[in-house]
Amino acid sequence: MSEPITGIVGYPVTPFVPDDPSTVNVEVLHQLIDRMIDAGVDAIAPLGSTGESAYLDHDEWVMVATESIRNVAARVPTVVGVSDVTTAGAVERARVAESLGATALMATPVSYWPLTEEEVRVHFTAIAAAVTVPLMAYNNPATTGIDMSPEFLVRLVAAVPNITMVKESSGDIGRMRRLRELSEGSLPYFNGRNPLALQAFDAGAAGWCTAAACLVPHRVVAFHRAVVAGDAACATECFAQMEPLLELIVSRGLPTTVKSGLRSIGIDAGDPRRPLLPLGAAEAARLAGLIAACER
Amino acid sequence: MSEPITGIVGYPVTPFVPDDPSTVNVEVLHQLIDRMIDAGVDAIAPLGSTGESAYLDHDEWVMVATESIRNVAARVPTVVGVSDVTTAGAVERARVAESLGATALMATPVSYWPLTEEEVRVHFTAIAAAVTVPLMAYNNPATTGIDMSPEFLVRLVAAVPNITMVKESSGDIGRMRRLRELSEGSLPYFNGRNPLALQAFDAGAAGWCTAAACLVPHRVVAFHRAVVAGDAACATECFAQMEPLLELIVSRGLPTTVKSGLRSIGIDAGDPRRPLLPLGAAEAARLAGLIAACER
Amino acid sequence: MSEPITGIVGYPVTPFVPDDPSTVNVEVLHQLIDRMIDAGVDAIAPLGSTGESAYLDHDEWVMVATESIRNVAARVPTVVGVSDVTTAGAVERARVAESLGATALMATPVSYWPLTEEEVRVHFTAIAAAVTVPLMAYNNPATTGIDMSPEFLVRLVAAVPNITMVKESSGDIGRMRRLRELSEGSLPYFNGRNPLALQAFDAGAAGWCTAAACLVPHRVVAFHRAVVAGDAACATECFAQMEPLLELIVSRGLPTTVKSGLRSIGIDAGDPRRPLLPLGAAEAARLAGLIAACER
Amino acid sequence: MSEPITGIVGYPVTPFVPDDPSTVNVEVLHQLIDRMIDAGVDAIAPLGSTGESAYLDHDEWVMVATESIRNVAARVPTVVGVSDVTTAGAVERARVAESLGATALMATPVSYWPLTEEEVRVHFTAIAAAVTVPLMAYNNPATTGIDMSPEFLVRLVAAVPNITMVKESSGDIGRMRRLRELSEGSLPYFNGRNPLALQAFDAGAAGWCTAAACLVPHRVVAFHRAVVAGDAACATECFAQMEPLLELIVSRGLPTTVKSGLRSIGIDAGDPRRPLLPLGAAEAARLAGLIAACER
């Protein structure tokens, strides 16, 4: 049994070749991962929402999973997003990710048609049953249209042995307290809503899943170290410096804002894949300024 | 320039082989299409939401488009759904569908990340620019998470020559009146919200896009004929007979309910693809009863 | 029933974007097709051996078929190559090509494992049965490793109604005479071995399937017109001028030589897809010279 | 550095579901692998010629690679076939196979168009450069149409650090002696031509790559143990008992014969994928008899 995952889980974007968003840029993917690990993040999570996994075809998904896990090379745990619009597809991704050496998996229910709780339950159970590594159930109603309540999530974790973590991006900090209560503190939950990171740690979150680590990895790590050290003043100050940046990146889809921000610091991860459009010039300038301010 | 599309647009499900939802059942697809045309529907719309197009891979999409258009064989217009999570994918589907002989296309913005109006506009413009056949812009916020206002839709239609029709499934009948006002009656709009079909025709809808035509095609056609004939009493009575059925089929995803209903009348279109689950026994029995009642 | 196909059947290469052989260049594809039709070729045959169809994935195949047929736009017949390593794949391609509006189809048996005559027969029969358009059976043992004898081909044509043409690239001119004898002159056969074009017309060939039409379309058409006019002296002289070019282009794979030659006349169709390599500088220069000489 | 691979390398067929050659049968794949390992084979080589890898799409390839390596679970080395018709495809497969935990890779040049030596060299160099695990260069002119001479192979091995093994299926035992001479005994070569197994060990082969291990694994292992023990009489006798079986299985493609033979011993691995046809009844009966005779 490996160590539990805690702390900063860094989410790389999936970089595309400049002017060609049909081709993954493997070199820049490696660069992003290295940069986050060098700064001290605790885990790397490729192929999440930030990784535009919903916009990749299966071949691309396999390629990005392969390259990410190779490049992380066990320096930290790798948590691979395996969400797919069909259960069969998510199961296949889960098996491939496990075989490639993923430490853990993450999935959120994505479906064109809304799903019943029973459909979500059967979906997650099938994914988990296909592998032995731990699976993180991810709730993000703003992108998936499906909202899993704390009650549902705790029942799911109780019923399926290797669903062992929850990621909450609903934006309701009360959900975390409810997860703690319902699980009697036994269920590790991660915050996925960037502007709530400080509150989430206060509410007992085991970690912070964040694409901000692409942009300001040292700052994100420093903040978390202050939290761990119990230095509330330092954590609060550190977080306050990042907060405008965190608000801005979630004002649009994370691939759009993070790729824009990366360009401002000299890393060309290309544009997001259409229909997603690059950030406009004014917002890009504001974002660049906030990143620069954070690094001061 | 071909005749404008009006009236009943029948939406086939994409049938799968019994016990094998990984394989499309082409024979049953033909059967469903023939049955609707024989009953008198005015157009066939494969690969819509009902056709589980969001759950098909590109090869399957091409195959279902090919087989549907071949089988319709120009007996009525074919309106092919070309939605895809990427703009490049939707453009490619549009070009293929046009080349296969589609009369018109239909698209709704599907995206994991929410889209800005500008992103939706660029997306639709790219699809329309790739073809010369008419394109129907489809608003269905309950499944896509993206709500296109009447104002936006009328601007879109004004700006792009071959976006010539709108389908409204938001469930707000006021939207249709607003579309009429804003376009000064020049924009044909279709109702996609089954229980609102009668109200929609009252509000000037050019047609009704419906998967109910899979289940009770004669009844749907008879209703529309009464509408066209101006026989309000007959239309109202006919609709009243269907209404409980229409409410039930939209209480869950249409692939789930329609496939269940088809089984009750001896057409095995398989189960929907997971994560979608088949209808439970109790609801299936109720649905079967409502279908039987309609056919009396 | 459409007119039988005869004369010059021009084979476009599948152009790739310069420096990116993973992306089809649709614009140059259109340019190549237009150039051949403007010069007077009698038919266009996309996705043949020359079209690198063996190196395209299914999505690319559908895209090139779609774009080719759209661009030909019925100015001349389109003969679409539907070969695939599996029978199911070739059947699917045949149905798609027919639905896209192909005039006729062409297939050659490609298989990793050698095939028995029975396996070849069942393969062709399945493809033909899936469509109603005519199918040309193509024999090219040098690339496929499978040699279909005239006896086999004539039996195949007799047994399957819509296998109505044969293309012979074995390089043995006696095969054509044998096809004529065995079919008592009723079977149209096409020459696919460029340096044998003159002899083939002498031996009764209905046409010449050639990638040389990409490079010197006017010369190829002029030669054929002399043949049709019965002007043997002119045909012989015209052919003699082309012969060194024809020998050179078949000294390596046609995608390699034709793409090199196109570059020499200002059309950048990219490089062939690896493992195929571009032509070396010395051969490229020689090829350029031979093309220039032909156009004088 | 791991131990060098020697001895019996067992090649599983890729089983399909009975009556549905479009679906891989993962359970029977596991069964075949377990059976060979339990009998004592020294390595497992999925996705070779026998594994119908040329007839699988990329998703299927990834799935079979994943499942094979998971199931072998490091009990013996796994040598994964990564051949693909494009260099980019073979490189991608190589990277995925390495990441999945393959001990070594195997590739043969497959191409529709014949390749020059330089094209083959560049192809192999690209595959090898993409990974760090050893690569076995496989020569099988009867299926690929490309014959790599001992001189070429020894130069290739000398030039590329991780091309460390050769598999010879040309059927010319002199090639092995030549490989030994040219490499001064430093290059391990494997026999891939079943009926030559005894001669090949006499000629210094490091191992025997064989699909016969699917059918008569104990016999194949017993033969090899006699060879290793230097018990020539026993080896000769043991081989003589297998020889008619080995001749019969190579009289047709190995997927065809091995799947037929498996059925005779109660393992339903389905039929080969078309255009390959199942073995006829008479040959199947003869094959069943030879297998039964071997097991006595």
Question: Measured between CA atoms, how close is A82 to chain D, in angstroms?
Answer: 15
The annotated binding site of D is made up of: 50
pLDDT, residue C1, reads 47
Chains with 3+ CB–CB pairs under 8 A to C are A, B, D
pLDDT, residue C295, reads 76
D20 contact residues in B (CB cutoff 8 A):
20, 23
Q: What is the mean pLDDT of residues C131-152?
A: 96
Answer yes or no: do A277 and B126 touch at CB < 8 A.
no
The reply to whether C152 touches chain D by the CB within 8 Å rule is no
Q: What is the mean pLDDT of residues C227-255?
A: 97
pLDDT, residue B19, reads 87
Name the residue of chain D whose CA is nearest to C121's CA.
Answer: D275
How far from A221 is each of A209, C131, D161, CA to CA, in Å?
12, 63, 41
List, in sequence order, every beta strand (DSSP E) within chain B. Answer: 7-10, 16-17, 20-24, 43-44, 79-81, 104-107, 135-139, 163-168, 189-191, 207-210
Answer yes or no: do A99 and D95 touch at CB < 8 A.
no
The owner of tokens 């070969």 is C83
The owner of tokens 């082409």 is B26
Q: How far is CA B233 from the centre of its chain?
A: 27
- For chain B, the farthest-separated pair of C-alpha atoms sits apart, in whole angstroms, at 51
Task: Give the confidence band of B1 by pLDDT, cuts at 50, 70, 90.
Answer: very low
Q: How far is CA D272 from the centre of its chain?
A: 17
| Residue B113 near residue A277 (C-beta atoms within 8 A) | no
Write the single-letter amino acid at B285: A
Task: Give the confidence band of D1 by pLDDT, cuts at 50, 70, 90.
Answer: very low
Backbone dihedral region for residue A8 (phi beyond 0: left; psi -120 to 50: alpha; all else: beta): beta
Alpha carbon distance, N-terminus to C-terminus of chain B: 40
Distance CA D25, CA D269 (A): 7
Name the residue of chain B whose CA is nearest to C68's CA.
Answer: B99
Q: What is the mean pLDDT of residues C149-156?
A: 98
Tokens standing for residue A143: 């992108």
Determine which of C252, C276, C279, C283 to mutate to test the interface with D (most D C-beta atoms within 10 Å).
C276
Annotated catalytic residue B167: yes
Q: Residue D94: which residues within 8 A CB-CB, separation 6 or more?
A: D82, D105, D107, D127, D130, D131, D135
Backbone dihedral region for residue D74 (phi beyond 0: left; psi -120 to 50: alpha; all else: beta): left
**Percent of chain B at pLDDT exceeding 70:** 99
pLDDT, residue D3, reads 82
Question: Measured between CA atoms, how close is D10 to chain A, in angstroms?
Answer: 21
By C-alpha distance, which of B172, B252, B250 is closest to B212? B250
Write the single-letter amino acid at A180: R
Answer whether residue C77 shows pLDDT above 70. yes
Answer whether residue D26 shows pLDDT above 60. yes
Answer whether residue A1 shows pLDDT above 50. no
Burial classification of residue A296, based on how many CB atoms lie within 10 Å of its CB (0-12 exposed, 13-18 middle, 19 or more buried) = exposed
Interface of A with C in 3-22 (CB under 8 A): 20, 22
Answer whether residue B173 shows pLDDT above 60. yes
List, in sequence order, every beta strand (DSSP E) within chain C. Answer: 7-10, 16-17, 20-24, 43-44, 79-81, 104-107, 135-139, 163-168, 189-191, 207-210
Distance CA B120, CA B140 (A): 13
pLDDT, residue B95, reads 98
Residue C279 DSSP symbol: P
Dihedral angle over CA of B116, B122, B127, B132, nearest 10: 140
The annotated binding site of D for pyruvate is made up of: 50
The reply to whether A23 touches chain C by the CB within 8 Å rule is yes
Which of helix, strand or coil describes residue D17?
strand
Write the pLDDT tens digit of every residue in B181-195.
999 999 999 999 999
The annotated binding site of A for pyruvate is made up of: 50
Answer whether residue A49 shows pLDDT above 70. yes
Q: What is the mean pLDDT of residues A26-53?
A: 98
Which of helix, strand or coil describes residue C146?
coil
Write the pLDDT tens digit of every residue in A154-196.
999 999 999 999 999 999 999 999 999 999 999 999 999 999 9
Helical residues (DSSP H) of C130-182, grouped into ranges:
141-144, 150-159, 173-182
A20 contact residues in C (CB cutoff 8 A):
20, 23
Answer whether residue A2 shows pLDDT above 90. no
Task: Give the confidence band of D163 by pLDDT, cuts at 50, 70, 90.
Answer: very high
Task: Give the confidence band of D2 by pLDDT, cuts at 50, 70, 90.
Answer: low
Mean residue pLDDT of chain C comes to 96
Which of helix, strand or coil describes residue D93?
helix
Answer yes or no: do D22 and C88 touch at CB < 8 A.
yes
Tokens standing for residue A29: 């993917």
What residue segments make up the domains of chain A, in order of their start?
A: 7-295
Write the pLDDT tens digit of every residue in C87-113.
999 999 999 999 999 999 999 999 999
Determine which of D23, D57, D62, D91 to mutate to test the interface with A (most A C-beta atoms within 10 Å).
D62
CB pairs under 8 A between B and C: 37
Answer yes or no: do A58 and D59 touch at CB < 8 A.
yes
Determine which of B113, B138, B140, B143 to mutate to test the interface with A (most A C-beta atoms within 10 Å).
B113
CATH number for the domain whose boundaries are C7-215 = 3.20.20.70
Would you name the residues of D annotated as active-site residues?
138, 167
Answer whether residue B295 shows pLDDT above 80. no
Question: Measured between CA atoms, how close is B194 to chain C, in angstroms?
Answer: 32
Answer yes or no: do A22 and C23 touch at CB < 8 A.
yes
Q: Which CATH superfamily is domain D7-218 in?
A: Aldolase class I (3.20.20.70)
B66 contact residues in C (CB cutoff 8 A):
95-96, 99
Write the pLDDT tens digit of every residue in C17-59.
998 889 999 999 999 999 999 999 999 999 999 999 999 999 9
Answer yes or no: do C95 and B70 touch at CB < 8 A.
yes
Distance CA A65, CA A59 (A): 10
A111 contact residues in B (CB cutoff 8 A):
54, 275-276
Answer yes or no: do A86 and B116 touch at CB < 8 A.
no
Distance CA B223, CA B290 (A): 16
DSSP codes of every residue in A51-84: TTGGGS-HHHHHHHHHHHHHHHTTSS-BEEE---
Distance CA D124, CA D131 (A): 12
CA angle B269, B272, B278 (to 5 degrees): 95
Write the pLDDT tens digit of every residue in A121-163.
999 999 999 999 999 999 999 999 999 999 999 999 999 999 9
Write the pLDDT tens digit of every residue in D173-231.
999 999 999 999 999 999 999 999 999 999 999 999 999 999 999 999 999 999 999 99
CATH number for the domain whose boundaries are A7-295 = 3.20.20.70
Name the residue of chain C whose CA is nearest to D277's CA.
Answer: C119
Question: Measured between CA atoms, how close is C32 to chain B, in angstroms?
Answer: 20
| Adjacent-strand bridge partners of C191 | C168, C208
